[in-house]
Amino acid sequence: MRQRLLIVDDSMTTRNRIARVITDPRLAGLHIVGQARDGAEALQLARTHQPDVVTMDLTMPTMDGAECICALIEMLPDVRILVVSALSDKLTAIRVLKRGAHGFLQKPFEDRQLVDTMIEAIHL
Amino acid sequence: MNTALKSRDVEVFTEAVATYFERTTRKKATVRSAYLLESRDPFPLSDFTGTITLSGRFRGIVCFTAPRVLLHHVLMMTGESDHSDLAHCDLIGEIANQFAGQARRHFGGGLEISPPALLMGHAHVIPRLASNYPFVLPLTWHGYEGSLIVHMEASH
Higher pLDDT, B117 or A123: B117
Option in A17, A59, A113 nearest B97 (CB): A59
Domains of chain A plus CATH, in order, are 3-122 (3.40.50.2300)
Q: Choose the most confident range, by mean pLDDT, from A49-53, A61-65, A120-124.
A: A49-53
Looking at every residue in chain A, the average pLDDT score rounds to 93
pLDDT tens across A33-54, in order? 999 999 999 999 999 999 999 9
Option in B20, B26, B115 nearest A59 (CB): B115
Tell me which chain B residues have a C-beta less than 8 angstroms from the C-beta of A110: 23-24, 26
pLDDT at residue B156 greater than cutoff 80: no
Tell me which chain B residues have a C-beta less than 8 angstroms from the C-beta of A23: none
Looking at every residue in chain B, the average pLDDT score rounds to 91
pLDDT tens across B63-106, in order? 999 999 999 999 999 999 999 999 999 999 999 999 988 888 88
This complex has an ipTM of 0.87
- B104 in contact with A at a CB cutoff of 8 Å? yes
- B90 in contact with A at a CB cutoff of 8 Å? yes
Q: Are A10 and A40 in contact (CB under 8 A)?
A: no
Q: How confident is the model at residue B3 (pLDDT cuts 50, 70, 90)?
A: low
CA distance, residue B143 to nearest chain A CA (Å): 21
User: What is the SS3 assignment for A43-101?
Assistant: HHHHHHHCCCEEEECCCCCCCCHHHHHHHHHHHCCCCEEEEEECCCCHHHHHHHHHCCC
Helix (H) or strand (E) holding A32, with range, is strand A30-36
Give pLDDT, residue B105.
84
pLDDT at residue B155 greater than cutoff 90: no
Give pLDDT, residue B24.
95
Domains of chain B plus CATH, in order, are 8-151 (3.40.1550.10)
Tell me which chain B residues have a C-beta less than 8 angstroms from the C-beta of A59: 97, 100, 115
Option in B19, B79, B101 nearest A87 (CB): B101
Q: Are A39 and A67 in contact (CB under 8 A)?
A: yes
User: What is the SS3 assignment for chain B?
Assistant: CCCCCCHHHHHHHHHHHHHHHHHHHCCCEEECCCEECCCCCCCCCCCEEEEEEEEECEEEEEEEEECHHHHHHHHHHCCCCCCCHHHHHHHHHHHHHHHHHHHHHHHCCCEEECCCEEEECCCCCCCCCCCCCCEEEEEEECCEEEEEEEEEEECC
